[in-house]
Amino acid sequence: MKNISLWIFAAALCLTLGLTSCGDVSKDDSLTKANTAADGQTEQQADRVKKIFYSIPSPVEMVSLIQDVGSRYDYSLLNKVENRTKYSSAKSKAVNLGIYGADLSYTSVFNQNQESILYMSCAKQLADELGVSSAFSNETIARVEENLENRDSLLHIITETFYELDAYLKENDRSNISAQVITGGWLEGLYLASKMVQMYGKGNELSDRIVDQRLALKDLISLNKAYNKDGSLDDVLMDLESLEAIYAEADAGGSVETQVAADGKVTLGGSPAAKMSDAVMDKLIVKTIEIRQKYVM
C-alpha cells in the first residue's frame, strides 16, 4: 500500500510540474536539429538541439520614430478600448493584446497619461483572460501610475511588462500565444506608421522604416512557423505572407559595410538602404490596414 501511495504521489507531482512549470527548452517548438551524438556522451547530451530564437523589434521602436518625425498624436487611430469585449477566442485576445500593447507604447511616447492608463487596463484585462495575469501585477500598475510623467521610465516598465508576459507564455509551453501577441504588436506598429505616411507623405524616415520592416517580417514569419505545430497560426501566417509578397517587389538595397571608429565605437552598415516605389508602398499600406482591421474587428 505504501508503495502504491508513493508512486501515485510521484506521478501526481510529475503531472503538476508538467502542467504548471515552464516547458523544458529542449522541447521548444522553435528548435532545429543540429548536434549529433558523440561517443561517451550521455543520452541527454546526445539528443540536444541547436536553439534558434527569432527576436522581433518592439513596437515602441516604431512609435518612438513616429513621434521623432514630428507626427501629431492621433487617438482615433488606435484600437478602441470598447472593442476589448468583442474578443472571445484565445487568438483574438492574444493578437489584440499585442495591438493594445503597441497602442499603449504610442500613448506613452506622446505622454498621454489618461489614455496610457486606459490601454494598460485593456492589456491587463486581456492578459487576465489569457491566464497571464502575473505579468500585469498590482505592483506593475502602481509603477505605471507613479511614472506617468516620466516617459523613459514608463517605456521601460511597459517593455519589461511585455517581456515578462512573453517569458511566462514561453515557459508554459504557450509559445503560439506568444507569437500571436508579438504579431499583433508588430502589425499595429506597421499600421500606425502606415497611417502617418498616408497623412504626412512618403520619402521620409518613417516610410524608410516601413520598407525596413521586410526584415523583421521575415523573422516574424519564421517565428510563427516555428510555433505553428497545431496549425493555430495558419491564418496569421497567411496574412503575413501576403505582406511578404508585396515586400518582395521592393529593392533590397546594397550590401553592408561595418565601420569601427578610432574610439572603438562600432557602426553597422552604411550602404544604400532598401527602396520601394510609391505604388508598392501604397499597396503595402492598403494591405496592412486591411489585415489590421480584420483583427481589431
Partner 1 sequence: MRKFFSRRLRELRTRDMERKAIIVLLIVMLPAFAFSQCRRFTKVSCIPALGEYIPNENFNSAVLIPGDQAELMMTFYAGQDYRVLICTEDILGEVDYTLSDESGKTIFDSKNMDRGFMDFSVAKTQQVKVNLSVPDRPSTNQLIHEGCATVLIGYKEKG
CB-nearer residue toward partner 1: 25 or 297:
25
CB-nearer residue toward partner 1: 81 or 167:
167
- Report in angstroms how near the CB of residue 236 gets to partner 1 at its nearest: 16
Cβ 214 vs Cβ 274: under 8 Å: yes
- Report in angstroms how near the CB of residue 85 gets to partner 1 at its nearest: 25
CB-nearer residue toward partner 1: 36 or 85:
36
Torsion of CA 187, 239, 199, 68, to 10 degrees: 30
CB-nearer residue toward partner 1: 211 or 285:
211
- Report in angstroms how near the CB of residue 46 gets to partner 1 at its nearest: 10
Q: Which residue in 102, 118, 98 sits closest to 66, CA to CA?
A: 102
- Report in angstroms how near the CB of residue 23 gets to partner 1 at its nearest: 7
- Distance, in Å, from the CA atom of 197 to the CA atom of 283, rounded to the nearest integer, reads 13
Cβ 97 vs Cβ 182: under 8 Å: no
- Report in angstroms how near the CB of residue 268 gets to partner 1 at its nearest: 5
CB-nearer residue toward partner 1: 201 or 272:
272
Distance of alpha carbon 32 from its chain centroid, rounded?
21
The sign one gets for the Cα dihedral 105, 108, 110, 113 is: positive
Torsion of CA 114, 159, 78, 208, to 10 degrees: 130
